[in-house]
């Protein structure tokens, strides 16, 4: 399992940030001191979920409005029907480390 450094935890603002790691576009969500990482590209069409508004643990796709739970990647409503990939994340000496092997199948 490869853990890759997504950046310093203190550099992530509250809400979503896009990070490119190992050829994948990831959406890193900071909620307080907790971090969640999902695939950045919506499963419905081409939109960046890191640019969506965050409501509790749900991010709203900026293009058509499906909401995805950042903890599970599962959409809560149409038009998206497929989940986005989720990635394991942990903090290590102030760095946000992401396992790019855990999510798999991201586009
Ligand atoms: S592109 Fe995200 S809901 Fe359509």
User: Which domains are assigned to the chain?
Assistant: 3-103 (2.102.10.10)
pLDDT of the residue at 78: 97
pLDDT of the residue at 102: 45
Mean pLDDT by 10 residues, the chain (107 residues): 93 97 96 97 98 97 98 97 97 96 50
Distance 100 CA to ligand 1 centre (A): 23
Residues 6+ apart with CB under 8 A from 33: none
Distance 97 CA to ligand 1 centre (A): 27
CA distance 66 to 54: 12
DSSP structural state of residue 48: B
Burial of residue 21, with CB atoms counted within 10 A of its CB: 0-12 exposed, 13-18 middle, 19 or more buried = middle
Closest ligand 1 atom, residue 75 Cα: 3
pLDDT of the residue at 100: 87
Per the CB < 8 A criterion, the answer to whether 70 and 58 are in contact is yes
CA distance 57 to 31: 8
State the distance between the two ends of the chain, measured CA to CA, in whole angstroms: 19
pLDDT of the residue at 106: 47
């Amino acid at each position: 399992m490869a853990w890759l450094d997504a950046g310093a935890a203190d550099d992530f603002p509250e809400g979503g940030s896009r990070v490119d790691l190992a050829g994948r576009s990831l959406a890193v969500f900071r909620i307080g001191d907790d971090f969640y990482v999902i695939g950045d590209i919506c499963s419905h069409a081409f939109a960046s979920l890191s640019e969506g508004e965050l409501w509790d643990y749900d991010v709203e796709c900026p293009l058509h409005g499906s909401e995805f739970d950042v903890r599970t990647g599962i959409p809560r409503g149409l038009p998206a029907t497929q989940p986005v990939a989720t990635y394991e994340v942990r903090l290590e000496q102030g760095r946000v480390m992401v396992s790019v092997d855990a999510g798999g199948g991201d586009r």
